[in-house]
């Protein structure tokens, strides 16, 4: 199965082509504002390196978040456009799962972290199992203090991966049984393994039904709400 994986949920965007879980070509770039400019050249580069064309694909995998808005929309739009052009199915992948799978090398419960801005992070607990990880709770968006409370209440030794550097200074001080590690960002090559498994289970997503998993309102909408609440928005009651 020839797979294209697109990952744009964090500042580190990546694209990979693979046959099953074997990586054939990959491109990556870190730039908080550079998802759109990176994607098309990166996809073209990977096809050139692999000697493939889009019509050779059997499957497209796209990370739907959680993550910031611009990157997720760019990745999903690219996946939808290619899928429509060549008639291949899409599977969706969570950025938290990608982080947890790459980190699953021991027995610690894994808490991947994605910075969703404005002082909040998205996270969820994962339990390592032979051959992978399983979600062991509910993904949620929390403040730094709420995240500390989650980890403090976890009776197991824990491994924090992802963008834990986005946590406020001192968040982890005094917590026992907690380690931090890599990866910092999800990567398209890891998505190949998840995509192959989901395809084997026929867990496809309708291209037009795919929605980004923001887990909070867009910044622009939040700012508009702030303006209205402060009486600064046109049409607000004076």
C-alpha span between 65 and 96 (Å, rounded): 8
Chain-centre distance of CA 9, in angstroms? Answer: 4
C-alpha span between 207 and 228 (Å, rounded): 35
C-alpha span between 6 and 128 (Å, rounded): 24
Two structure tokens written together for 97? 């799962």
Q: Are 52 and 86 in contact (CB under 8 A)?
A: no
Q: Please identify which residue in the block is written with the tokens 């972290």.
A: 113
C-alpha span between 94 and 198 (Å, rounded): 12
C-alpha span between 169 and 2 (Å, rounded): 44
pTM reported for the whole predicted model? 0.87
Give me the pLDDT at residue 217, please: 55
For residue 183, the tally of other CB atoms under 10 A from its CB is 17
Q: List the chain pLDDT tens, one digit each, 238 residues.
A: 999 999 999 989 999 999 999 999 999 998 766 677 899 999 999 999 999 999 999 999 999 999 988 889 999 999 999 999 999 999 999 999 999 999 988 889 999 999 998 889 999 999 999 989 999 999 999 999 999 999 999 999 999 999 999 998 899 999 999 999 999 999 999 999 999 999 999 999 988 889 888 765 554 443 434 433 443 333 333 3
For residue 217, the tally of other CB atoms under 10 A from its CB is 13
Handedness of CA 73, 74, 78, 84 (dihedral sign): positive
C-alpha span between 118 and 104 (Å, rounded): 29
Question: In order of start, what are the domains of the chain with their CATH numbers?
Answer: 2-95+186-223 (3.30.420.40), 96-180 (3.30.420.40)
C-alpha span between 182 and 154 (Å, rounded): 20
Give me the pLDDT at residue 40, please: 92
Buried/exposed 29-56: b ≥16 CB within 10 Å, e otherwise: beeeebbbebbeebbeebbeebebebee
C-alpha span between 67 and 130 (Å, rounded): 28
Give me the pLDDT at residue 230, please: 40
Buried/exposed 133-163: b ≥16 CB within 10 Å, e otherwise: beebeebebbebeebbebbeebeeebbbbbb
Give me the pLDDT at residue 234, please: 37
C-alpha span between 71 and 29 (Å, rounded): 12
């Amino acid at each position: 199965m020839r797979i294209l994986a697109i990952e744009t949920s964090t500042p580190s965007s990546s694209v990979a082509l693979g046959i099953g879980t074997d990586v054939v070509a990959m491109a990556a770039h870190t730039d908080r504002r550079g998802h759109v400019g990176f994607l098309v050249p990166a996809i073209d580069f990977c096809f050139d390196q692999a000697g493939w064309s889009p019509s050779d694909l059997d499957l497209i995998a796209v990370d739907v978040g959680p993550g910031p808005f611009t990157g997720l929309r760019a990745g999903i739009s690219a996946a939808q456009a290619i899928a429509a052009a060549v008639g291949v199915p899409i599977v969706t992948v969570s950025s938290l799962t990608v982080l947890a799978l790459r980190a699953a090398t021991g027995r610690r419960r894994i808490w991947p972290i994605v910075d969703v801005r404005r002082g909040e992070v998205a996270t969820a607990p994962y339990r390592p199992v032979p051959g992978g990880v399983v979600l062991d709770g509910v993904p949620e968006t929390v403040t730094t203090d709420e995240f500390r409370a989650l980890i403090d209440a976890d009776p197991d030794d824990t491994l924090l991966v992802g963008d834990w550097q986005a946590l406020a200074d001192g968040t982890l001080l005094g917590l026992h049984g907690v380690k931090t590690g890599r990866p910092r960002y999800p990567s398209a090559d890891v998505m190949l393994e998840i995509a192959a498994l989901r395809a084997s289970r026929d867990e496809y997503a309708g291209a037009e039904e795919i929605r980004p998993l923001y887990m909070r309102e867009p910044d622009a909408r939040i700012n508009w709400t702030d303006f209205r609440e402060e009486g600064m928005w046109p049409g607000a009651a004076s």
